[in-house]
Amino acid sequence: MDLTHLYERAKKAGRGLLQWPVERVNEVLRAVADEAVARTEYILAENARDLARMSPDNPLYDRLKLTAERIQGIASDTRHVAELPSPLGRVLKHTVLPNGLDLKRVSVPFGVIGVIYEARPNVTFDVFSLCLKAGSACVLKGGRDADCSNRAIVEVIHGVLERFGMNPDTLTLLPADREATASLLQARGYVDLLIPRGGRSLIDYVRDNARIPVIETGAGVCHTYFDAGGDLRKGTAIVNNAKTRRVSVCNALDSLLVHESRLADLPALCAPLAESRVRIYADAPALAALDGHYPADLLEAAMDEHYGTEFMDYKMAVRTVASLDEALAHIARFGSGHSECIVTEDAEAAARFQQMVDAACVYVNAPTSFTDGAQFGLGAEIGISTQKLHARGPMALEEITTYKWLVRGDGQVRPK
């Protein structure tokens, strides 16, 4: 499928955005928020057509469903993006060289950002408003399940863009099929950055086939290590929050590592999990320690495959380690580079854990559930990067900008 004409138009729209002052962009965002609310009935009617094609038993149903209240929430998020400081025009470095050349490294838009996502129509609003605020046009490829909702949302946004005289190609929604995904991966020279949001297989497919720069988001196999020097009260709260706050998110706890000297504390550490009916897969020493203290119907011997699994469910693996180094080796082997935590009062152990763990977010005495753009004070989030290039961990407005070097001289030349 040749969608080049769409990419060309998006590129032109992205270029046009360079001349829009941030105040006007914020006005557009506020108007989009107002219009989303004003057109609630229309959006819900189109959403109902999508819902009619999905069984309410499908776990995706709830993510697909919009309500008047959810549209209020979306509008409020969009207004919030309008209030955030602009990520553009920041002077990241400024030097005057001995020869008088004035050198500035300044944040600028990418140009065109592509996002591939699944059945969540709210993402259409989110991605549009973050990309626009970051000065880029966006090319979206949504899920087929949400296509009526997405088309309605895009129509509503386009109406606002036209009213403000902004090029409607600032927001492009591709056809909701696999051919469009394949085409987007090849949009070299048009799409400057591609962010896939979705399941493992989508992200793997995108990374392996893209000819344009990609930021991987996604899988979080997250560990919490209860160290020899861990405080039991803090540990109990941290483990419970990391595991049960929301099990379906990437920052949720998957494997608890416990120092062998603290096995006697394991029942207390895990006690609150029983209330949420968390199934525990424990190695032999941990199993022995929990036996009789944790509901027997929720307790199983761990198999190899439980380590390194992102459960996305009320399930957790437990492994006993003999030392901090063994915990570090386990995390290096099974972690996905997302979020890892140590519970300890031992400053040296904490420092070594933060130094040695290679992950986007490394916690001491706080649960991995905090890994989130809004929680980190970034004001928003377009995804959580699990790669090391460009952005790591929660990505918000700054992370979806690039920079250029602005050099001013007065006729200086470089010696031979």
| Residue 51: other Cβ atoms inside 10 A | 19
Window contacting a second copy (CB under 8 A); options: 29-37, 124-132, 195-203, 363-371: 363-371
Task: Tell whether residue 135 is a contact of a second copy (CB under 8 A).
Answer: no
User: For a second copy, which stretch binds (CB under 8 A), given 40-48, 77-85, 232-240, 309-317?
Assistant: 232-240
3-state class (DSSP) for residue 337: coil
Q: Which stretch binds a second copy (CB under 8 A): 139-147, 220-228, 236-244, 290-298?
A: 236-244
- Pairing state of beta strands 279-282 and 253-259? unpaired
Q: Which helix (H) or strand (E) holds 106?
A: strand 102-109
Q: Say if CB 113 and CB 138 are below 8 A apart.
A: yes
Least Cβ distance, residue 214 to a second copy (angstroms): 8
Q: Which is nearer to a second copy, 8 or 34 (CB)?
A: 8
CB of 371 to a second copy, least distance (A): 8
Q: Does 84 bind a second copy (CB under 8 A)?
A: no
DSSP category for residue 214: B
Question: What are the residues whose beta carbons fall under 8 Å from the beta carbon of 204, sequence distance 6 or more?
Answer: none
15 vs 63 by CB, closer to a second copy: 15
- The residue among 151 and 314 lying less far from a second copy, judged by its C-beta, is 314
Rule CB under 8 A: is residue 129 a binding residue for a second copy? Answer: no
Report in angstroms how near the CB of residue 15 gets to a second copy at its nearest: 7
Instruction: Name the residue nearer to a second copy (CB basis): 153 or 328.
Output: 328
Residue 363, interface with a second copy (CB under 8 A)? yes
376: contact with a second copy by CB under 8 A: yes
Distance in angstroms (rounded) separating the CA atoms of residues 169 and 27: 18
Using CB under 8 A as the binding criterion, the count of chain residues that bind a second copy stands at: 67
Chain length of the chain = 416
Query: Is there binding between residue 73 and a second copy (CB under 8 A)?
Result: no
Amino acid at 261: S
What phi and psi values does residue 183 have, to the nearest 5 degrees? -65, -40
393 binds a second copy (CB under 8 A): yes
Burial class (CB within 10 angstroms; exposed 0-12, middle 13-18, buried 19+) of 17: buried
Q: Tell me how far the alpha carbon of residue 281 is from its chain's centroid.
A: 28
Are 160 and 25 within 8 A, CB to CB?
A: no
Q: Give the one residue of 101, 247, 263, 268 binding a second copy; rule: CB under 8 A.
A: 101
Burial category of 411 from C-beta neighbours within 10 Å (exposed 0-12, middle 13-18, buried 19 and up): exposed
Secondary structure (3-state) at 279: strand
Q: Does 169 bind a second copy (CB under 8 A)?
A: no
Q: Return the range that interacts with a second copy (CB under 8 A); candidates 29-37, 69-77, 163-171, 227-235.
A: 227-235
Provide the binding-site residues for a second copy, judged by CB under 8 A: 15, 18-19, 95, 97, 101, 103, 108, 110-111, 192-193, 207-208, 211, 213, 215, 231, 233-234, 237-238, 240-241, 245-246, 332, 350, 354-356, 358-367, 369-370, 372, 375-377, 387-390, 392-393, 402-414, 416
